Chains A and B, each alone.
Chain A
Amino acid sequence: MGKSLFEKVWEAHTVRRLSNGQTQLLIGTHLIHEVTSPQAFGMLRDLGLGVKFPHRTFATVDHIVPTDQRQEPFSDPLADGMIKELRRNARDFGITYFDLSSGRQGIVHVVGPEQGITQPGSTIACGDSHTATHGAFGAIAFGIGTTQVRDILATQTMALSKLKVRRIEVTGSLRPGVYAKDVILHLIKKLGANGGIGYAYEYGGEVFDRMSMEERMTVCNMSIEGGARCGYVNPDEKTYAYLKGRPYSPEGAAWDEAVARWKSFASDPDCAYDDHVIFRAEEIAPSVTWGISPDQGVFIGETIPHFEGLDAAAAASLQEALDYMKLSPGTPVKGIPVDVCFIGSCTNGRLSDFREVAARIRGTKVAPGVKAIAVPGSQIVDVLCRNEGIDRIFTEAGWEWREAGCSMCLAMNPDKLVGDQLCASSSNRNFKGRQGSPTGRTILMSPVMVAAAAIEGKVADAREVFDLATS
């Protein structure tokens, strides 16, 4: 019987069994940012501990950085204190730090892959739940809390219980106008926001095989929205082609050895999974959420569901979502007015996302009264977009083109919704208050669907707006 990639990586990184039965797991690559690391460094100082392998931790600043005016000191003194603290910690402990002046700053889950730090067969952890993104490369990547950030800094390991593995296959071909984001939103809707608890998700089959690395990142990124702590795709030729020549990728003879090793981590064809589910690509249409949990979603042509017949607790949860969203059962999602449109985030803030939208919006205009912002996921994404003139296509269409950061995905910087504004967003969470206003509303969708909403001023079917069905 063969083994899955998850099992192989787990075994290769197992240090020993701990007294409570958990595994002491080596975390080869540790990524840190300004929000969840300062307290961990504080704990190290309190305990008199150092960083065990400083060369295996990489830092950048993403959550709190302004995307318009980046002159320091930042106008928000709390944010300014956080970037200074990260700088101090990186310097004091000898950690590589991609600062604003590096040209390599960005959302930590965009920076890792584009630097070649994210590699197949590795273990990765970051104090950020979207760390699963790195699984697109066949890495096992965990989101962790701050105490575990401390554990990894001090020991390069963490205590963890082994996960089960669920293989999720999508067979067939996606229809025109259906994107990676639609696939993952559909999977979350079908499997539930808590369906992945206890599992690592292995995404496989024709649709994921055919996806680009950036599309695979979009899928793996939202594993956590399905309750799975990590998700991955087995490495293949696309993975190696993406990594070749990146700053932290192996070179020369070491490259060939690395590729051979990476290949050996892929799941064996005869491996057993703890669970296995199969979906048909043809069943998936452009998807949007309507509630306050990422599994509360429908296809664009559908209406907000009625919930007669549900048990009292489930009905109460749905009613709470609809009250918050100011929507009612039976309403078509197409046509819901939007106030703000946001393209960016670790889910959909990469070159291919902006390229795909730019190919559609040339010559269009953002609807009157709608604020539309595009936020590249990294300084490198920004430069690549500018080199192709993508930023100008956006600005000529009435979008604001910003500088790299997490921005309105979680609104820890000045980019926030106001009051009960409704945002068509390419990000990953529609939780209450997520985008910075305690009454702000979020509808999740693909970047091309966000662009369609920006033009129409309401939730729209991008296939109709951009004539995608025939393209």
Chain B
Amino acid sequence: MLPRIQQVIGRAVHVPGNDIDTDRIIPARFMKCVTFEGLGAYAFYDVRFQQDGNPRPHPMNAPERAGASILISGMNFGCGSSREHAPQALHRHGFRAVVAGSFAEIFFGNCTTLAIPCVTLAEADLAKLAAAVDADPSLEVTVDVEAREVRHGAQVFPAGIPTTAHDALVNGRWDPIGELLEGSSQVESTAASLPYMACP
């Protein structure tokens, strides 16, 4: 049994912007690797660091945000390339949940299979949460996957997550490989019904 992902509780960092793509989350040159190890250091690299390696002003570089485990962003987060290197880099950087206005689908699926819940908030709620996080680096935020809520203090925001991902996370079935393998004989009969599966 995999861990059940019911809640993620931690401090947060707000990376503002819509349409933040996976090239920005992990620039392509850092994908010249045959494992995912070490990618955490390169999360958002080109917007966090100058070409000489010196840091730029960026929310993730603020010392008081070190150790934040919840990432907050805007609409269509994770669009573009299907690279799993992006959620791998975020996870290895320490993020355990992402809260945004909406998510690109491939990124969303990649995160779910890595046990990183991606939940959406309504625009006004997202703005309120982002403002609260921006104002207080020590603010403890709860991403309650099971209850479909994001909370801080007395503030409670209803959060969106599709039932399939919700159930996979809270029931500890976010990595589907075991269940896919169990279907092996049915896979063979489906394949046998499709002539092209016998080729070449």
A residues less than 8 Å from B162 (CB atoms): 161
User: CB distance B24 to A293 under 8 Å?
Assistant: no
B residues less than 8 Å from A229 (CB atoms): 105-106
Q: Please, how many residues of chain B have a CB less than 8 angstroms from a CB on the other chain?
A: 67
User: CB distance A156 to B187 under 8 Å?
Assistant: yes
Interface: A90 (CB within 8 A): no
User: CB distance A39 to B36 under 8 Å?
Assistant: yes
Interface set, chain A 196-242, CB cutoff 8 A to B = 197-198, 224-225, 227, 229
User: CB distance A155 to B180 under 8 Å?
Assistant: yes
Interface: B76 (CB within 8 A): yes
Interface segment among A65-73, A79-87, A329-337: the answer is A79-87
User: Out of A16, A144, A148, which one reaches B183, CB within 8 Å?
Assistant: A16
User: Out of A13, A15, A36, A227, which one reaches B76, CB within 8 Å?
Assistant: A227
- What are the nearest 5 A-B pairs in CB distance? A145-B84, A145-B110, A78-B32, A194-B76, A38-B34
| Interface residues, chain B, with chain A CB atoms under 8 Å away | 16-19, 21, 23-24, 27-29, 31-36, 46-47, 51, 74-76, 79-85, 87, 102-106, 109-110, 113-114, 127, 162-165, 167-168, 171, 173, 175-177, 179-181, 183-184, 186-187, 190-191, 193-197, 199-200
User: CB distance B104 to A227 under 8 Å?
Assistant: yes
In the complex, number of A-B residue pairs with CB atoms less than 8 Å apart? 223
B residues less than 8 Å from A355 (CB atoms): none
User: Out of A21, A145, A248, which one reaches B167, CB within 8 Å?
Assistant: A21
User: Out of A13, A19, A52, which one reaches B194, CB within 8 Å?
Assistant: A13
Give the most central of B103, B127, B176: most A CB within 10 Å.
B176
Interface: A257 (CB within 8 A): yes
A410 vs chain B, min Cβ distance (A): 5
Interface: A279 (CB within 8 A): no
Q: What separation, in Å, do the CA atoms of A313 and B18 have in the docked complex?
A: 8
B residues less than 8 Å from A285 (CB atoms): none
User: CB distance A145 to B24 under 8 Å?
Assistant: no
A residues less than 8 Å from B177 (CB atoms): 47, 150-151, 154-155
User: CB distance A148 to B113 under 8 Å?
Assistant: yes
B residues less than 8 Å from A35 (CB atoms): 31, 83
Q: What separation, in Å, do the CA atoms of A439 and B49 have in the docked complex?
A: 12
Interface set, chain A 432-460, CB cutoff 8 A to B = 432-434, 436, 438
User: CB distance B164 to A197 under 8 Å?
Assistant: no
- Binary contact readout A108-120 vs B (1 if CB under 8 angstroms, 0 otherwise): 0000000000010
Interface: A367 (CB within 8 A): no
A residues less than 8 Å from B28 (CB atoms): 63, 410-412, 434, 436
User: CB distance B106 to A147 under 8 Å?
Assistant: no
Closest to A257 in B: B195
Q: What separation, in Å, do the CA atoms of A122 and B27 have in the docked complex?
A: 32
User: CB distance A38 to B110 under 8 Å?
Assistant: no
Closest to A126 in B: B82
Interface set, chain A 455-471, CB cutoff 8 A to B = none
Interface: A14 (CB within 8 A): yes
- Binary contact readout A396-428 vs B (1 if CB under 8 angstroms, 0 otherwise): 000000000000001110000000000000000
12 additional A-B residue pairs with CB within 8 Å, beyond A150-B177, A410-B28: A20-B167, A39-B35, A42-B34, A56-B197, A143-B106, A145-B113, A151-B176, A151-B180, A155-B187, A193-B79, A292-B19, A316-B16
A414 vs chain B, min Cβ distance (A): 11
Q: What separation, in Å, do the CA atoms of A131 and B87 have in the docked complex?
A: 20
Interface: A320 (CB within 8 A): yes
Closest to B46 in A: A438
B residues less than 8 Å from A258 (CB atoms): 195-196
Q: What separation, in Å, do the CA atoms of A64 and B31 have in the docked complex?
A: 10
User: Out of B34, B75, B191, which one reaches A26, CB within 8 Å?
Assistant: B191
User: Out of A144, A227, A248, A432, which one reaches B24, CB within 8 Å?
Assistant: A432
User: Out of B75, B167, B186, B197, which one reaches A194, CB within 8 Å?
Assistant: B75
User: Out of B17, B23, B165, which one reaches A433, CB within 8 Å?
Assistant: B23
User: Out of B33, B102, B113, which one reaches A197, CB within 8 Å?
Assistant: B102
Q: What separation, in Å, do the CA atoms of A254 and B199 have in the docked complex?
A: 11
Give the most central of A127, A198, A410: most B CB within 10 Å.
A410
User: CB distance A64 to B32 under 8 Å?
Assistant: yes
24 residue pairs from A and B, CB less than 8 Å apart = A15-B186, A19-B179, A20-B163, A26-B194, A29-B196, A36-B84, A39-B84, A42-B35, A55-B199, A127-B84, A131-B82, A145-B83, A146-B84, A155-B180, A157-B183, A158-B180, A261-B195, A317-B18, A412-B29, A429-B21, A431-B24, A431-B80, A433-B23, A438-B51
A residues less than 8 Å from B195 (CB atoms): 254, 257-258, 261
A291 vs chain B, min Cβ distance (A): 9
User: CB distance A293 to B194 under 8 Å?
Assistant: no
User: CB distance B80 to A129 under 8 Å?
Assistant: yes
Interface: A169 (CB within 8 A): no
Interface: A76 (CB within 8 A): yes
User: CB distance A193 to B110 under 8 Å?
Assistant: no
Given A144-B82, A145-B110: A82 and B76 interface contact (C-beta under 8 Å): no
Give the most central of A81, A128, A156, A258: most B CB within 10 Å.
A156
